[in-house]
Structure 1
Amino acid sequence: MALSLASAAQLLKEHHLLREIVQGKCWTLKASDIEGCEEPFESISYDTRQVCPGTLLVVKGRFHKEYLQDIDAKGLACYVACEEYSNVTNAPGLIVNDAGKALALLSAEFYDRPQDKLTVIGITGTKGKTTTAYFTQALLNTVSGGKAALFSSVDNCLDGQTYEESDLTTPESLDAFRMMNTAVRNGMKYLVMEVSSQAYKVNRVYGLTFDVGAFLNISPDHISPIEHPSFEDYLYCKRQIVGNSRQLVLNADHSYAALIRQDAAAFNVPITTFALRTDETAAVNQPAPANVTIRPDDADHQSFTAIRSDKALDGAHCTDSRDTNCETLADGISLSMLGDFNYANAAAALAIACAAGINVADIFQSVTSVEKVRVAGRMEQFADPQSNTVAIVDYAHNFASIKAVLDFVDSRYGPQNPRITLVTGSAGNKAYDRRKEIVQAAQDRVEHFIFTGEDTDDEPIIDICMQMQSYITVPDRASTIISDRTTAISNAVHDARAHADRFNVILIVGKGNERWIKAHKKHVPFEGDDRIIERLFNIGQQQD
């Protein structure tokens, strides 16, 4: 049904958002008091620069009424805002309590509720969202013949095969529903999307119910005056996915799994659990049972087997496929992406596919598609032909992800006693705790820090780097500040070649394959960490 002022007002009333309708001196709750209230809107926008005849404009964020100058001449049909602007426009206004919530609801209706025509999967967690989303899309694409769309922090894909760089982890609600509508028109059956804590904080996914929601993990992150004031608020926002999902996939070893289970029970949401099981995890604790378990096949962790048990929640452990409670989903899985944590992400993807109703036999046949998945900028490894050096490019940017990368280096290269150099920075104007946590996670295992520019925004690069440098407490730990990121990476390579008597590992973290650096609220073109390494190593493709 086409969205009009009348239907918009009714929808906002149903969600207790509408305060009144204002046009000039007419203040009313009845849409019928406004002339033309049944006429469909031609477009919807939250940007005054995009207003054209028949546009519904949602006023949100840092808005100044000066933006509405001459807006009637552009053909504004109606606006939605938390205050009335009848002194600057003759268009009727739907005055609401929360413009973000209103935008999400109205966008869904304007684009004919595309979420109802898709199986929508939402994935949240501090780390692993992107990789799990790619793995899940690969599985669903294989079993559906390429009918799975993707919204991720790296790329968006609306036709199952074409990927375009994204701007946000979770798109603004209007953009999300517009892209969902495009995906539906492209014949997509599934949508896999990352769901950030900010998406719930600022209502980008308000009113959206996921057919399957996944909660991977949680650790302190995104705590700052412009993000989350505390870890409790961060966790609370992440937890909103539980009550907004029809089914939940949960990491059985999640630090706050008991609380998430309580959330699920309160909303009557069934749970499918997953877990990575290695000798190390078994030694650390008594692991909880899981519906989908992934285990290494050999001591070197070169391949893994995934096992499923529908009785796990009754206390049955998946030990191996010979157990009558268990069945093999896939064996001999060997991912192109490095690290045990990526096998945990693969287990999450398999659990999501199971929860989405995919036949086990289909998963068995399509798991090879997961083995081939490579996410640009995630654990990409490059070998230097001129020296005994390996460079790893990754998006790691907080304590948990830095530790995971270093754990991988230790497990893979520990016997070679590598000399590890960490090239890192930290975002400006937000997530201040990361700066100390990155250093704390790394300083006992790296020999040399190179602090450099990241998305420093309005903060001076040198200030962030010096602050990070001040957190080093290990005596005589080498550290260098090089503001220009390209120069910093070049320096790391030349330094490694100068220490050719040792096996060197260069970890370049924080930016992945992003082709820009955020400075003064603008994206400044940047070559990319991966391309810089390829150029310096004089290689044309990634090395496994």
Structure 2
Amino acid sequence: MKRLEVKKMSLSLKSIRDCLLQENLLKEFIVAEKWQLTLPDSLDNRLVKDISYDSRTVTSDTLFFCKGLNFKEEYLEKAIQSGLELYISETPYDVPATLGIIVTDIRKAMAVLSMAFYDYPQNKLKLIAFTGTKGKTTAAYFTKYILDHTTNNKVAMLSTMNSTLDGKNYFKSQLTTPESLDLYRMMAEAVKNEMSHFIMEVSSQAYKINRVYGLFFDVGIFLNITPDHISPIEHPTFDDYFYCKRQLIAHSKTVIINHESDYFSLLKEMATLKQVPMIVYGTEKNEAVDYSYQTIPGDSLSFTIRSAKDPLNINGNYRLLLGGDFNKGNALSAMIASSLVGATQKDCQKGIQEATVPGRMELLTNNNNAKVYVDYAHNYDSLKNLLAYVKEEHPTGRLIVVIGSTGNKAISRRKDFSKVLSELGDVAILTTDDPADEDPITICKQIEEHITGDVKIRTVLDRAEAIAEALRISQPEDAVVLAGKGADQFQKIGGIDTPYPGDYQIAESIIWHSKK
């Protein structure tokens, strides 16, 4: 997408000092190699006209954030050689800068200063945030489709798959939740584009490393929690992962919680202790559930919403384009969130019926009539739910699964995938899925060594060839599942996003060419 230029903001050094003092983040200033607690009068009104954490994009008027585990002093030195005069860091550096601002926490400082620099754009938008181990992207898309009807397409969205700041043009997301500086720049761009609502996914990492420090959401939705992202470079334990996830509850003005989520009682207790108004949804009809959903017999895509009091006026029948009972729960969470910020029941019905999600439950038919499902399922719960649904839809055939696992993160998923494949799969074709700096052969072997039972295992590292192999061996009663990549059009290899056509496009092309 062609990016719109956000009007350049500015912030005085005095304002920066005051902001840091208010948050108790300021340690000292370094001026002319001297440490001091006050700014010289000559610098009080000096304006910062840009902020950056990329040493390659600085000028004399940039405030440069020295952040990240991989930060090196040489980055700062090169930036100063390019004209940089102002830097902010947790560590004093012996460099010829006009001013060094030393803080206790660089990421918190970057968050609060980014807010101020972009004139607090979050206050000019209705903010809706989803967290959970699975379903965030689908629920976010449901919400956008609903609110597009409410606002006449004035809804911005940041999602794992695609993001939009003008409600129409989409671009590839690099992180589930962007760095704070990028987040507020994007919010400011959405405000410039006259957006009224801003939907985003909030990852556990966003709280762990303070990307959303100090940010409060109008509506926060907690979908579910299961072990994921457990690795030395993400969360060392499930307890750490869960703690970071549930911070969304403490930073929402109203929270929506899934009654079927593991540890629901703890989530409810946290909302109560923090005095956050709470709406609970689920499949059960009981006193703890405010809104429940049930599938309409004879139509697996239709469901009914019921509430004893229905304060949001959303009781009624709805129909999805996406299969799977789990998507009905995602849809209900989106309807509740949308209703809280202005949507009507009619908006909900239209939006839910129209909603599609790139790479989620996309369906093709092979030339021999075997069904081919493309889905982004990339952790234990999402893969298990997907395969269970497909197995139920195709009880007499084999389940052929093409799957890999990402490198450099979420290492626990490899054993998780093995468990699901052992329980539900008939044929597993192991392949490449964003190996990053790891050897994809090693990743596949780590999945294979934990698979038990009668699952037939093949390893085909080239993902396009793995998809072709799955389609080739399929029989009319079988179902082929292409899991993990969804609509993603890149493979992360080393530090490079390598272009990749996408699972759906590859499968569709193979099917089309085999007809000739």
Moved more, 221-230 or 514-523: 514-523
Aligned AA (2:442):
D
Equivalenced residue count is 505
Residue in 1 that maps onto 2:31: 23
Q: Distance in 2 between matches of 1:223 and 1:71?
A: 35
Identity of aligned residues (%): 39
Map of 1:320 onto structure 2: none
Instruction: Specify the code of the residue in structure 2 equivalent to 1:428.
Output: G
Name the amino acid aligned to 1:293. S
The alignment's C-alpha RMSD in Å is 1.9
Q: Deviations over 1:291-327 (max 9, x none)?
A: 22222122442311223344xxxxxxxxxxxxxx788
Q: Gaps (5+ residues) in structure 1?
A: 311-324, 540-544
SS in 2 for 1:19: strand
1:395 corresponds to: 376
1:182-210 deviation line (CA, Å, top 9, x unaligned): 10111111101000001111111111111
Q: Which amino acid aligns with 2:13?
A: L
Is the partner of 1:421 in helix, strand or coil? Answer: strand
Return the alpha-carbon distance in structure 2 between the equivalents of residues 269 and 329 of structure 1.
22
Contact in 2 for aligned 1:137/1:148 (Cα 8 Å): yes
Partner amino acid for 1:489?
A: I
SS at match of 2:480: strand
Corresponding residue for 1:482? 460
The equivalent residue for 2:5 is none
CA–CA separation in structure 2 for the residues paired with 1:407 and 1:468: 19
Offset, 1:355? 3.0
Q: Distance in 2 between matches of 1:509 and 1:91?
A: 53
Residue 315 of structure 1 corresponds to none
Change (3 A) 1:177 1:267: same
- Deviation, structure 1 residue 151: 0.6
CA distance in 2 between partners of 1:327 and 1:354 (Å): 6
Q: For 1:72 and 1:64, locate their aligned partners in 2 and report how far apart those are by CA, in whole Å.
A: 13
**CA displacement 1:18-66 (0-9 Å, x = unmatched):** 11111223311212x2632312211110101010231011110111111
Matches within 5 A, 1:263-278: 263-275=270-282, 277=283
Aligned residue in 2 for 1:351: 336
Aligned residue among 388, 391, 403 for 1:424: 403
Partner of 1:302: 301
Q: Are the equivalent residues in 2 in contact too, given 1:220–1:231 (CA < 8 A)?
A: yes
Q: Distance in 2 between matches of 1:218 and 1:58?
A: 33
Q: Are 1:105 and 2:112 matched, yes or no?
A: yes
Contact residue 253 and residue 288 of structure 1 kept, 8 A: no
User: Do residues 90 (structure 1) and 97 (structure 2) align?
Assistant: yes
Alignment of 1:206-217 (within 5 A): 206-217=213-224
Does the 8 Å CA contact 2:318/2:349 hold for their aligned counterparts?
A: yes
Contact 1:227 1:431 in 2 (8 A): yes
Pick closer, same or farther for the CA change 1:521–1:287 going to 2, 3 Å. Answer: farther
Counterpart of 1:508?
A: 482
Structure 2 gap segments, 5+ residues each: 1-8
* 1:133 and 1:194 in contact (8 A); partners too: yes
Q: Which letter does structure 1 place at the counterpart of 2:422? A: Q
Show the counterpart of 2:431: 452
Q: Match of 2:469?
A: 491
User: How far, CA to CA, are the matches of 1:391 and 1:248 in structure 2?
Assistant: 37
1:139 aligns with 2:118: no
Q: Is the 8 A contact 2:60 2:86 kept in 1?
A: no
**Which residue of 2 is the match for residue 316 of structure 1?**
none
Shift of 1:382: 0.7
CA deviation after TM superposition for structure 1 residue 425, in Å: 0.6
Aligned to 1:321: none
Q: Specify the SS of the correspondent of 1:63.
A: coil
**Aligned counterparts of 2:30 and 2:271: Cα–Cα separation in 1:** 41
In the other structure, the counterpart of 1:319 is none
CA distance in 2, matches of 1:212, 1:328: 18
What's the CA shift for 1:363? 2.7
Quote the residue 1:238 is aligned against.
245
1:330 Cα deviation (Å)? 5.5
The one-letter amino acid paired with 1:479 is: I
C-alpha contact 2:313 2:345 (8 A) present in aligned 1: no
| Corresponding residue for residue 204 of structure 2 | 197
Match of 1:11 among 15, 19, 30: 19
In the alignment, is residue 56 of structure 1 matched against residue 63 of structure 2? yes
Report the residue type matching 2:416 in the other structure: E
Give runs of aligned pairs for residues 215-294 of structure 1, distance below 5 A.
Answer: 215-275=222-282, 277=283, 289-294=288-293
Deviations 1:239-296 (A, max 9, x none): 1111111110111222111111121122110101112x3xxxx6xxx86642222221
Give the SS at the match of 2:452: coil
Moved more, 520-529 or 179-188: 520-529
SS of 2:43 mapped into structure 1: coil
* CA distance in structure 1 between the aligned counterparts of 2:312 and 2:109, rounded to whole angstroms: 46
* 2:140–2:201 contact (8 Å) kept in structure 1: yes
Deviation at 1:493, TM superposition (A): 0.8
TM-score for both structures, normalised by structure 2:
0.94
Do the aligned partners of residues 427 and 300 (structure 1) sit closer, same or farther apart at CA in structure 2, a change above 3 Å counting?
A: same
CA distance in 2, matches of 1:214, 1:253: 13
The C-alpha deviation readout for 1:83-115, integer Å capped at 9, x for no partner, is 112x22322011011111111111111000000
**Distance in 2 separating the partners of 1:70 and 1:34:** 28
Residue number in structure 2 paired with 1:71 = 79
CA drift of 1:328 comes to 6.0
Q: Is the 8 A contact 2:319 2:352 kept in 1?
A: no
When residues 34 and 228 of structure 1 are mapped into structure 2, their CA distance, relative to the original with a 3 A threshold, is farther
| Partner Cα distance (2:41, 2:465) in 1 | 62
Contact 1:291–1:351 (8 Å) recurs in 2: no
Query: Could you tell me how far apart the structure 2 residues matched to 1:327 and 1:407 are?
Result: 33
Following superposition, the deviation at residue 442 of structure 1 comes to 2.3
Q: Give CA-to-partner distance per residue, 1:200-242, whole Å, 9 cap, x none.
A: 1111111111111110000000000000001000000001111
Paired residue type of 2:256 = V
Partner of 1:410 in structure 2?
391
Structure 1 counterpart of 2:328, which letter?
Y
Aligned to 1:314: none
